[in-house]
Amino acid sequence: MEQNPQTIGSEPGQPKEEGAPEVHPMDALLGGESLDMETPRRGEIRRGTIARISDGDVLVDIGAKSEGIIPARELEQLPPETREALQVGSEISVYVIRVGGGEDGLVLSLARAEEEQDWSEAERLLESQDTLNGEVAGYNKGGLIVKLGHLRGFIPASQVSLSRRRRSEGETPDKRWGKMVGEPIVAKVIEVDRKRNRLILSERAAAREARKVLKEHLITELQPGEIRSGHVISLADFGAFVDIGGADGLVHLSEISWRRIAHPKDVLKVGQEVQVKVLGVDAERKRISLSMRELEPDPWQTIAEQFREGQLVEGQITKLTKFGAFASLKGMEAYEIEGLIHISELSDRRVEHPREVLEEGQVVSLRVIKLDQERRRIGLSLKRVDSPEYAEMDWQTAMRDRSDEAPRPAPEAVEDFDADLEAETPPEAAEPPAPTDENPPAEK
C-alpha cells in the first residue's frame, strides 16, 4: 500500500506548493505567537504585570515582544506609597510613551496612565453631570483648586457657591481663600480640554442642583404658619430671598416690614440672619412665600388703641385721586397706613376733583368717621371737622386733655390748702354763737 507523506505545518490533504520553502515546526509556532501579540501604539494605555525591578527601573510585561521600562526618573517623582506598592507580579496600568528605538526601547509611564484615566473620568463626569466630591487643595487669586485624581481642577470665583463667597473677605487671595483649604467641597465639571490641560469646575452648579433636591423635599414638609430661621442670600427691587435650610423663599417688599421702605437694602443685608414666617407653599411652581412683618407688632393694634371714631386727627395728604384723597395720620407716618377722605367728605359744596380743596403734602385737621380694623381701612372727613354733630365729643375731649395736662396736687397739699382756707375765713362769715342769758338773741 502506497503511503502519502504529510508535510508538517500544512493542512492534511493539501499538496505542497511547488517552490514553497520548508517551514520548521518551531518557526511556525513562534510565528503564530507573534501574530497573537498586538504591537503597542504610542499614547495607548495597557494593562501589564511587573516582571522585574532593578536599579530603580521597573520592567513591565504588556504582552509585547519585549518588556517595557518605567524609568527611574519617573519613579522618583511618584509618592512614596505608590512606589512601595510596586511589587513583582502586581498588575498595573501604563501609558506607552515610546514604542521602540533608542537605548530604552519600549518606554512606559505609570503617572501618565493615571493622568489619562483621570481625564477619562473628567470627561465622564462632564457628560453625565454627576457631582465630584473632594476638598479644597489650594487657591490662586482667581479662585479655588480642587484635585480630581492627579489633575488640578480650577473653580473660578464666579463659580464658587454664595455661602462660601460670603466668607471670602479680604484684600489678598490668602485672606479670601486661605482659610478654606482642606474644606470638603462638591462641584460639577463644566469644561474639559486635554490639549490645553484645562479642567474647570463649578461649585455653584452643584449647589444649585443640591438646593433643587433640598427644595423639593422641603416643599413637601413645609406648612403655612411655620416660623423658620434663615439667611438673606440676595436682594432685589421687589424683595429679599432667604435661605431657610437648603431652599430659598421670597420675602416680598411689602412683607419685610410694616414700616414703609423703598428698597430691601434699607433694612437688610446679604448674610444677615432673620426670622421668617411661612405664608404659602406652591408645590407645582416650587415657590415659597415668606414674611418678616408677620413677626412684628401689628400697627393696626396701635391704631385701635390710639384712635376712635369721631376723633380729630392731624394728617398729611399723600395722594389725590378722582374719588378722594389719601392721608397719613400723625404718629403713623413710618407705616404704610393711610386713611381715605372720600370726595363727598371734602366740602359741603360740590367738588369735581380733590385738587380743588387739597394739595399733596398739605397738613390738615381731619375727623375719623370710620375705623375697620378687620378690613384695615380708615375713613376720614374734612368737612366734618367743625360739624356741630361732634361738638359734645370735642368739648369732652378738650376737657379730658386739659385735666390730663393740669398738675394734680398731692393729698398733703389739699389738706394744707383746706387749713389755709379755714384760717382766712372772715369773722362775719362764721356761724353766730348760740344765744345765752349773757348774750340774748337780737330783736327782730
Residues 290 and 344 in one domain: no
Say whether pLDDT at 27 is over 50. Answer: no
* Domain contains 111: yes
- Which of the listed residues 207, 240, 266 is the one where a domain comes to its end? 207
* Domain contains 23: no
* Domain contains 338: yes
Say whether pLDDT at 357 is over 50. Answer: yes
Residues 278 and 361 in one domain: no
Say whether pLDDT at 95 is over 80. Answer: yes
* Domain contains 25: no
- Which of the listed residues 62, 86, 115 is the one where a domain comes to its end? 115
CB 147, CB 153: distance < 8 Å: yes
Amino acid at 384: R
pLDDT class of 402 with cuts at 50, 70, 90 = low
Residues 165 and 198 in one domain: yes
Residues 316 and 269 in one domain: no
Return the half-sphere exposure (C-beta side, CA atoms, 13 A cut-off) of residue 38.
Answer: 7
Say whether pLDDT at 394 is over 80. Answer: no
**Domain limits at 270?**
222-295
* Domain contains 363: yes
What is the Cα–Cα distance from 218 to 283, expressed in whole angstroms? 10
* Domain contains 37: no
Percentage of residues in the chain having pLDDT higher than 90: 29
Residues 305 and 384 in one domain: yes
- Which of the listed residues 180, 207, 234 is the one where a domain comes to its end? 207
* Domain contains 281: yes
How many structural domains are present in the chain?
Answer: 4
Residues 264 and 352 in one domain: no
* Domain contains 39: no
DSSP-derived secondary structure for 198-218: EEEEEHHHHHHHHHHHHHHHH
CATH number at residue 156: 2.40.50.140
Residues 59 and 78 in one domain: yes
Residues 238 and 198 in one domain: no
107 strand-pairing partners: 69, 98
Whose CA is closest to 72, among 84, 59, 62? 59
Residues 391 and 309 in one domain: yes
Q: Write down the pLDDT at residue 136.
A: 93
Task: Share the mean pLDDT of the chain.
Answer: 78
